[in-house]
Amino acid sequence: MVQSTVARLAREARPYYPRLLVAVGLGAVNSLLVLVAPWALGTIFNRVIVPATTHTGTPALGALYFALAATYASLVLSNFATYGTSYITTWCGQRFLARLRQGLYDRLLRLPLESFDRWRPGELIARFNSDLQVMSDAVSVSLPQLINALLTFLSSLIALIVIDWLLTLVLIVIAPLMSIAVSRFQKLITTSMTRSQSRIANLSSTLTEILQAQRIVKAFGREEFESKRFRHRNEDYFGAFMKLNQFVYMQPVVISSILALGVIAIIWLSAREVLIGRLNSGLLLNYWLLVVNLVNPMNRMAAFVGDLSKALVSTGRAYELLDLPAEEEAGDPLPMPRVAGEIDFDDVWFSYDAGETPALADVNATIGAGEIIALVGPSGAGKTTLVNMIPRFYRPQRGRVLIDGIDIARVRLADLRAQIAIVPQDPQLFRASVAENIRYGRLDASDDEVHRAAIEANADEFIQTLPQGYDTEVGERGVRLSGGQRQRIAIARAIVRDPRILILDEATSALDRHSEALIEAALDRLLPGRTTVIIAHRLSTIRRASTILYIEGGRVLETGSHDVLLAQGGAYARLHAAQFTA
């Protein structure tokens, strides 16, 4: 998985290669500049300090001033080169992440509902937050420093070989040991990172559920239960995270211990080289300072490699989400003209998972243009699944859904959904103004059209009493409004869309009588002339329908008007007697 992720990263980073080459070039300049200070100190020692202390010659003050000036200039230029490398690398990394973040968001918007429903919201949030944060830290901190450390290491190694290849050979000999250690730790870090990110996803899912179910938790007194459940998952994450960091922190320790053996050997051998006259004191000082230049990057590189290993795991998880199949258009999809609204279900079969009992089986039904149809049946009968076939949220495994005789599997998805509006039982409002929530039904609707839609939905009266009227922000999920107010805005949103087909998931089932009366009046203005499919829960809604489809076990068992089905005394009549006459 890691290899494929690296290969994909390399392909997708191609637009940034020119900038990255500039960053590497600046890193190379920096790696050469860091050699100046060891050379300068060695020169000062040989040409100034040794002659002055041993009286074997005249101290070269010109060499002293030149070495000091060169050291200062190299340090200043090195800082600018480091800045350039870090800034350019971070820009490329963050730009890549911004593109990836947008791609993930776009893919979520275009996931088929059957795929989307399989994911926990917390898992999706974790991939957006935790995984992308790990990647952000890596490209903003670890990657720039890794480039600088690697180039400094290479330049110092070359300089060491030039000064004394025999001494440097000792350091090269321990390289295989270091390679084995780094490889082993990388595997441990990758495995631990995968486990850690899975645990944080569980933690995020628990938090998301609680934020959405506070009323239920409090109503059933389950605060302590939920606290224990969160504590358990929190401890799971803590354990996985600490195991990950144990490997991350241990890697530099092991690498440093291996390096220490090489450094001790170098000190002993270099002192011996001076004693036998192969090195002078200035070169020895130069060599030791270069060894420091070599060892420091190697220690840091171990940590940076660990960070990048974690980032690769997070990248793979992001790619997993990005690679989920989006909603498919038909090959060469057909444009869909404005329809009259006749809907036909032709031998429709659908199952959520292979091998499971079908949610819909052999469904055949016709809904006339402009007709109001009520879907009735026990919970889990398949009513919502059938309704989700109309806007192509789900696609039948067998059979067809036709609108005005056109197979909707062959038309452009945008054309199809432009002619459909949905008013759910639990209206979904966005954290925006009232006007923006109504205009969500048709983004190019004028202010006058928005106001007219609100009036028809019996919403204008309460909107005018809000602090900023139509510009009042409704809060997340419309929390600042009552249930009846949210429902009327949802109806206004459907009105401004002017759909040919309306899907209504009983809009009044959870409202007080006053709100219900207002919404029923709004529906009286909205429904005529439109094909309306209602998932019915209340007698008033059922009697509004001209035809009722009674669904049970994924099959349409009875079809007819309310009075006809009651007279038949079948399944609908029994359900009506049990649920609707109370």
Segment among 222-236, 396-410, 477-491, 499-513 with least mean pLDDT: 499-513
The token pair at 79 is 């800082």
Three-state DSSP class for 335?
Answer: coil
The token pair at 317 is 């998880």
For the chain, give every residue range classified as CATH 1.20.1560.10. Answer: 2-199+245-322
pLDDT of 302 above 70: no
| Cβ-contact 531, 371 below 8 angstroms | yes
| Cβ-contact 71, 35 below 8 angstroms | no
| pLDDT on residue 13 | 84
CATH code at 343-579:
3.40.50.300
d(CA 291, CA 259): 11
Residues 398-452 have pLDDT tens digits of 999 999 999 998 898 888 988 988 888 778 888 888 898 888 888 888 999 999 8
Most confident of 281-290, 445-454, 457-466, 471-480: 445-454
Residues 246-265 have pLDDT tens digits of 777 777 777 777 767 767 77
CB < 8 Å & 24+ apart, contacts of 310-313: 310/134, 310/138, 310/189, 310/190, 310/193, 310/244, 310/248, 311/134, 311/135, 311/137, 311/138, 311/139, 311/142, 312/2, 312/5, 312/6, 312/9, 312/190, 313/2, 313/134, 313/190, 313/193, 313/194, 313/197
Overall CATH class of domain 2-199+245-322? mainly alpha
Q: What is the DSSP string of 1-62?
A: -HHHHHHHHHHHTGGGHHHHHHHHHHHHHHHHHTTHHHHHHHHHIIIIIHHHHH-SS---HH
Instruction: Evaluate if pTM is beyond 0.75.
Output: no
| pLDDT on residue 508 | 58
The token pair at 431 is 């954290």
Residues 336-356 have pLDDT tens digits of 888 998 999 999 999 887 777
Axis-axis angle for helices 281-322, 36-44 (nearest 10):
170
Axis-axis angle for helices 143-163, 17-33 (nearest 10):
40
Alpha carbon 556 to its chain centroid, in Å, reads 40
| pLDDT on residue 474 | 82
Three-state DSSP class for 570?
Answer: coil
For the chain, give every residue range classified as CATH 3.40.50.300. Answer: 343-579
| Cβ-contact 307, 186 below 8 angstroms | no
pLDDT of 99 above 90: no
Residue bearing the bigger pLDDT, 389 or 187: 389
Question: 24 pLDDT band (50/70/90 cuts)?
Answer: confident
The token pair at 262 is 């090489």
d(CA 50, CA 315): 56
| pLDDT on residue 227 | 78
Three-state DSSP class for 551?
Answer: strand
